[in-house]
Amino acid sequence: MIQDLKATYLRVLSYLASALEEDEVFAWITKETPVRGLPEWQIAAEQGRLMCLLAQTIGARRILEIGTLGGYSGLWLARALPPDGKLVTIEADPRAADLAREAFRRGGVADRVELRLGAALDVLSELELDAPLDMVFIDADKDGNRSYVEWALPRMRSGGLILVDNVLVNGRVDLAGQPGAYYRSIAAFNDWVLERFPNETSIIPFYKANEDNLDGVMIVRVP
């Protein structure tokens, strides 16, 4: 039964990949990432499309991304912005930052992206915003999730969205029952958010074909 479900899901993904084809810049990032010795941790294309649509739906003009990697998710977010919009994205690895800068240039959004290099909390401690944030996407070290959300909340407009990636950890939904502090920390974070925003939070699963795992993104609407 499980194998049948997986086979069906893979057929659905194949259909989506053909029906909702990503352009050549995203394909270039995906191919260039391992060439440069970087981890292949891009979000699923379907997730990127959803994030872009959500940003457009709320009329986002100011977006913060914590964890740039090669620029795959940042490109989706930047393309949702109007010409005078701004994406601030933070990356700790200089090699990843170099790839992301080239991706933003190739994708035609370099003029609306500000890439900050450094440890996320260090960069955030010095970050000055000229307007409240409309959206925040968090995809960095998972132990920092709660700190990043706590930093973002007072700096967001009402109705803004906070998205947090990898909250299902390869389909291990019983996180608290898994061995190791990593799973327990994510379980504790999920519980903290769901207790604080029970009616404003949802988690959407996505299958990441390049990693062969099922994970999920948390979406929180800021009251």
Q: What percent of the chain has pLDDT over 90?
A: 73
Q: Supply the CATH number for residue 202's domain.
A: 3.40.50.150
User: pLDDT digits over 50-88, tens only?
Assistant: 999 999 999 999 999 999 999 999 999 999 999 999 999
The number of C-alpha atoms within 13 Å of 44 and in the hemisphere containing its C-beta is 23
**What is the average pLDDT across 132-137?**
98
Average pLDDT, the chain: 91
Per-residue pLDDT for 197 more than 70? yes
Domain count for the chain: 1
Does the pLDDT of residue 209 top 80, yes or no? no
Strands 62-66, 86-91: pairing kind: parallel
Q: What tens digit of pLDDT does each residue of 6-60 get?
A: 678 778 767 776 666 678 999 999 999 999 999 998 898 889 999 999 999 999 9
Put simply, whether the predicted model's pTM sits higher than 0.85 gets the answer yes
Whether the Cβ atoms of residue 214 and residue 6 lie closer than 8 Å to each other:
no
Q: Give the pLDDT of residue 211.
A: 62
For 166-193, give the DSSP string: -SSTTT---GGGSSSHHHHHHHHHHHHH
Backbone angles phi, psi at 59, to 5 degrees: 65, 40
DSSP string, 63-89: EEEE--TTSHHHHHHHHTS-TT-EEEE
Domain span holding position 120 = 2-221
